[in-house]
Amino acid sequence: MAAPVRGCFFSLSLAKIPTMNLKTLIEKTRTYRRFDGSHQVTTDSLVRLVDLARLSASGANRQPLKYILVTDPAQREAVYPCLAWAGYLTTWEGPDPAERPTGYIIILGDKEISESFGVDHGIAAQSIMLGATEEGLGGCIIASVKKERLRSALEIPKQFEVLLVLAIGKPVEEVVIETISNNDVKYWRDEKSVHHVPKRTLDEIILHR
């Protein structure tokens, strides 16, 4: 049963706008799990997104991250079963075939460069997602990955550690940010399949000012 709809903080549409300040870009960069399967993400688009990650910060400037870009339908079919989609939506098994992402970016750590990747992949992933929003796309940062199954499916050498999978596509769902209530951080979907995400207030997270 859907959780009751709480007071809406703000609602976001993903229509691409010519000029977007940073706060607006961040507000619009939500986690999307349902996509327009007819909208094909291009390899060129994924290359542009990875270039944003390339230009982002890296611990000690080691730059140990490498990337696999997936747009081919057969490869997408191989990647999809390696992923878990929404831990809090316990009765939802993931997007229907017509609503699956049409691109993936696999973030890898090159162990020949470094044995530790710190927070590099988190920084890279956020840069990519901000860029996706700017292009009128959206996605989901997925850490719950069957890594050895994915390694086998994409023939990833042992030299590379699988860190994250980014699902990219044209979102078809609405995401609404809520003010957190009773310390409940679980996202939920209402009866119209609108996705609600609770966030803590500034007053709660700033200890001193």
What is the CATH number for 89? 3.40.109.10
Residue corresponding to tokens 């399949």: 193
Residue corresponding to tokens 């611990």: 59
| pLDDT of 18 | 54
Domain assignment present for 17: yes
Identify the domain containing residue 73 by its residue range: 8-200
Domain assignment present for 206: no
Domain assignment present for 2: no
Q: What is the mean pLDDT of residues 59-68?
A: 98
CA separation, residue 109 to residues 2, 3, 58, 122, 142 (Å) = 39, 39, 12, 12, 15
Residue 78 has pLDDT above 50, yes or no: yes
Residue 146 has pLDDT above 70, yes or no: yes
Using only the alpha carbons of the chain, give its radius of gyration.
18
Domain assignment present for 41: yes
Round to whole Å and give the CA distance between 40 and 28: 21
Least reliable range by pLDDT among 18-27, 28-37, 41-50? 18-27
| pLDDT of 19 | 65
Q: What is the mean pLDDT of residues 177-197?
A: 94
| pLDDT of 20 | 79
Task: Select from 107, 50, 87 the least CA-distant residue to 187.
Answer: 87
What is the domain count for the chain? Answer: 1
Q: What is the mean pLDDT of residues 62-90?
A: 97
Round to whole Å and give the CA distance between 144 and 100: 17
In 56-169, the DSSP E strands lie at: 65-70, 103-110, 138-142, 160-169
Domain assignment present for 54: yes
The more confident residue out of 4 and 173 is 173
CA separation, residue 143 to residues 8, 107, 115 (Å) = 28, 10, 19
Residue 167, burial from CB neighbour count under 10 angstroms (0-12, 13-18, 19+): buried
**How many helices and strands (H and E) does the chain possess?**
6, 8
Q: Are 68 and 47 in contact (CB under 8 A)?
A: no
Q: What is the mean pLDDT of residues 80-106?
A: 95
Q: What is the mean pLDDT of residues 31-52?
A: 98
Structure-block tokens of residue 38? 């007819």
Round to whole Å and give the CA distance between 164 and 166: 7
Domain assignment present for 1: no
Domain assignment present for 116: yes
